[in-house]
Amino acid sequence: MITRRNFIINTSLAATAVLASPSFAFTMDKKEIGLQLYTLRDELPKNVKLTLEKVAKAGYTTVETYGFSIKDQFWGLTPIEFKKILDTNNLKAVSGHYNLGSFLYDGNLEEVKAAIEAAKILKNEFLTVPWVDEPFRNDFHKIAARLNEAGKMCADAGLKLAYHNHDFEFKKQDGITGYDILLKETDKNLVSFELDLYWVVRSGNDPLQLFKENPGRFKLWHVKDMDKNNSALNTEIGSGSIDFKPYFAEAKQSGMLHFFVEQENNYVPDSFESIKTSCGFIAKNLK
């Protein structure tokens, strides 16, 4: 007969043994490997269902969406239809890139409201701003204020807002970079950052220094490697010139919750083999 006392003792011993196991403890601390779907921008519009099936088969469990528009939604699919395909393939869209361009510049709320509605249907954790059009990069103070406003709207809807960088944010204007303005003038409780490691390195900056100076603010990462022969091109993770191990070693200081593989600036013969190669390298060497 199993008494309550014996059950508690046996359960406690079992839990202690499990936690003492390095392999299990390491597994519990591992982050899931995500893919920014822009990597497959040529394939997705042709066949969303087949593309997402191949993403799952390549080893990914989370994705970051892109391409939403009020008119076309997700390549002709409603957020509900798109979510069903994700669910069928056991993929979680923990973040989505939503273009809030008109809001950032003129305060038009239409895009923000539509993005929030789509993000809630997909069960996104983060609504991420991916880009600032060139004509509007001369006033990062205004962009920071708009991000705070959008961040409050997202928080009220049960979402989190993040901002994704390229390299133009690191150019100085009146002695300060746009990125510094965004970091200093956004409310850390409302606005997080998706640090694109490739663009930080390419701009001549050090992700580790950013982690140290702004601990906890980089909740999301883009992990994409730099071609060894042409820094303007990307390549599979582990095949390029960026050593990601020091960054992953400081993931806790960064505040990173999710990361996404992306290939943005080059086209490969087989995109699916490419993302599979990157996933395999990360699983073996970085997580």
The CATH number assigned to the domain holding 138 equals 3.20.20.150
Residues 265 and 158 in one domain: yes
Residues 14 and 79 in one domain: no
Task: Give pLDDT, residue 105.
Answer: 86
Residues 21 and 66 in one domain: no
CA pair distance 13, 38, nearest whole angstrom? 47
Residues 42 and 52 in one domain: yes
Residues 183 and 136 in one domain: yes
Task: Give pLDDT, residue 29.
Answer: 53
Residues 72 and 89 in one domain: yes
Residues 91 and 121 in one domain: yes
Domains in the chain: how many in total? Answer: 2
Task: Give pLDDT, residue 106.
Answer: 87
Task: Give pLDDT, residue 21.
Answer: 38
**Distances 284 to 27, 36, 61, 200 between C-alpha atoms, Å:** 12, 20, 16, 24
H-helix or E-strand spanning residue 97: strand 92-97
What is the Cα Rg of the chain in Å?
A: 20
**Distances 108 to 69, 141, 157, 264 between C-alpha atoms, Å:** 15, 17, 18, 29
Residues 110 and 48 in one domain: yes
Task: Give pLDDT, residue 19.
Answer: 42
* Average pLDDT, 10 consecutive residues per value, the chain (287 residues): 43 42 40 96 96 98 96 96 98 97 88 97 98 91 96 98 98 94 98 98 98 98 97 96 98 98 87 96 92
Task: Give pLDDT, residue 2.
Answer: 45
Q: What is the pTM of this model?
A: 0.89
The whole domain housing 98 covers 32-285
Residues 105 and 235 in one domain: yes
**Exposed, middle or buried, 197 (CB in 10 Å: 0-12/13-18/19+)?**
buried
Residues 230 and 123 in one domain: yes
Residues 33-72, buried b or exposed e (16+ Cβ, 10 A)?
A: bbbbbbbbeebbeeebeebbebbbebebbbbbbbbbeeee
Residues 20 and 38 in one domain: no
